[in-house]
Structure 1
């Protein structure tokens, strides 16, 4: 094990232990030396890590939305103190404190994954070199070295020489095809995830530098992954592709269930919610009631999507309540009662013509 990796045995040892435990399970199903047993062990490692990181992901979503909400104020501060950088920084920190936002919170999931990524990279590098690491030694080390996915060893890289690949019992062409396909898939999944965020889950009514930065990252990150990917072992590519797909699915779930106010995703969500309410005449889900209650509480500060939703309810004779429930509006109730024989609506007197208004009323004839 190299010197740098030896400093991080506190993380490489647990990672190797987790992989070994999953390998015992999948080895019983596919065979101990099967590439699928080792590959699925890496996939399971990703799933386990991402489940543990769900609380950080929730913080990331809240932080991202918080940053979007304060962008106009940040822009105003930058313009007001453009010639005083120190005062500008002080006002920014004050704004973060007042609003409870933290720019670094949006990076928490990536930062939390970094040690595991680093540990897995060194575990696979040690396997390729035939060096024991953590809990992978002896027969397990040899089994991992012989494991192939679509003909490519887990420890091989796109940049490996033909001799090094041959020592792992594989062909250089197979390795480069498999790694190239995985690198492309990894970059595309990263691009789609960021694009989905930009197109559906960003408030398009607010044009700020933050949106331009996000748009730039949409194109920069996939290129970075593609360049770095040629130096990643196949096992690391499996890890990173799996975590990208998890992020894509997790983000899609959040966008569909709790979209950012003012975004296209919110418009689509409220349209679906309106159809559901119209069909059933009520709202039972606690989560959906919470969203409706938040819209009601905004009052005149509602965005275009929310006003469209409230107007749609009104047209259906419904009204959103403060607790998030939906009930028949007063106007609809009065009309319904009148049609069903209840209290009739007050009738306005019939309008008279001009000649009728000018003709004095006839006097009653005297009684005899």
Structure 2
């Protein structure tokens, strides 16, 4: 049974999916894909803001590297200078996480909806309707071939979306590199154990992200490369020369 609180999460996504299925005549798999597009359109303004923020960070990489080099021995001072630099240039380093965080409630909603008794009994056909090569959307993928194909599709589309978001891997820091290259493999086992409809949603949102990034970057034009003067200005000043200690004139 779905928990009462969880049922509140499922109402809106279920209403959207049922609308696409009952009113527009889409299959349940295509209805989940359509839900993905509705969600991505709803958060499009935030996604565009995130893209601009990441673009600004990558254009300012020489200055960021200079701050990190200058204060490499004082992590607290380095963090303070980085935050001051972000504030002065109106950059939000956490902006790249917002689209993902905003999708988590929808992902949880879809999870509870696919497991819910009312959706399985009243909405889905018997036997449950599949999608493409997937036998059932409300059950984990059946068979080794289907499972492997879903896992590969998830990893490939997640990597493609992540690399597109980071402008093909330019200027990736440690945490960003882990999110892009590590999380797809970390979450891959869940593809085999969760309802296949969740994989349809996440693969669809990955494809949307990849296409969105390619289109937006093309419209924004090539990234501005720093001039030699800007690179030199961003370099930390050389350390002051050490003063030679004067020998004391004391005699025994």
TM-score bracket for the superposition, by shorter chain length: 0.7 to 0.9
CA change 1:259–1:182 in 2 (3 A) is farther
CA change 1:99–1:26 in 2 (3 A) is same
In the TM superposition, residue 151 of structure 1 has moved relative to its aligned partner by: 5.5
Tell me which of 45, 48, 55 is aligned to 2:35. 45
The match for 2:234 is: none
The match for 1:60 is: 50
Q: Deviations over 1:229-280 (max 9, x none)?
A: 12221111111111111111111112222245147xxxxxxxxxxxxxxxxx
Give me the whole-angstrom Cα distance separating, in 2, the residues matched to 1:299 and 1:82: 24
The match for 1:353 is: none
Tell me which of 61, 68, 76 is aligned to 2:66. 76
Give me the whole-angstrom Cα distance separating, in 1, the residues matched to 2:30 and 2:79: 47
The match for 1:9 is: 7
CA change 1:243–1:144 in 2 (3 A) is farther
TM-score by length of 2: 0.77
Q: Which residues of 2 match residues 189-268 of structure 1 at below 5 A?
A: 189-196=157-164, 202=170, 210=172, 214-262=176-224
CA change 1:300–1:82 in 2 (3 A) is closer
Give me the whole-angstrom Cα distance separating, in 2, the residues matched to 1:11 and 1:20: 15
TM-score by length of 1: 0.55
The match for 2:140 is: 157
The match for 2:246 is: none
The match for 1:146 is: 128
Flag structure 2 segments of 5+ consecutive residues without an equivalent: 232-252
CA change 1:144–1:243 in 2 (3 A) is farther
Tell me which of 101, 115, 125 is aligned to 2:91. 101
Tell me which of 130, 146, 153 is aligned to 1:178. 146
Give me the whole-angstrom Cα distance separating, in 1, the residues matched to 2:215 and 2:55: 16
Larger of the two Rg values belongs to structure = 1
Larger relative CO (CA 8 A, sep 6+): 1 or 2?
A: 2
In the TM superposition, residue 182 of structure 1 has moved relative to its aligned partner by: 1.9
On the 8 A contact 2:54/2:166 being kept in 1, the answer is no
How many residue pairs align between the two structures? 230
Q: Indicate yes or no: 2:17 matched with 1:19.
A: yes
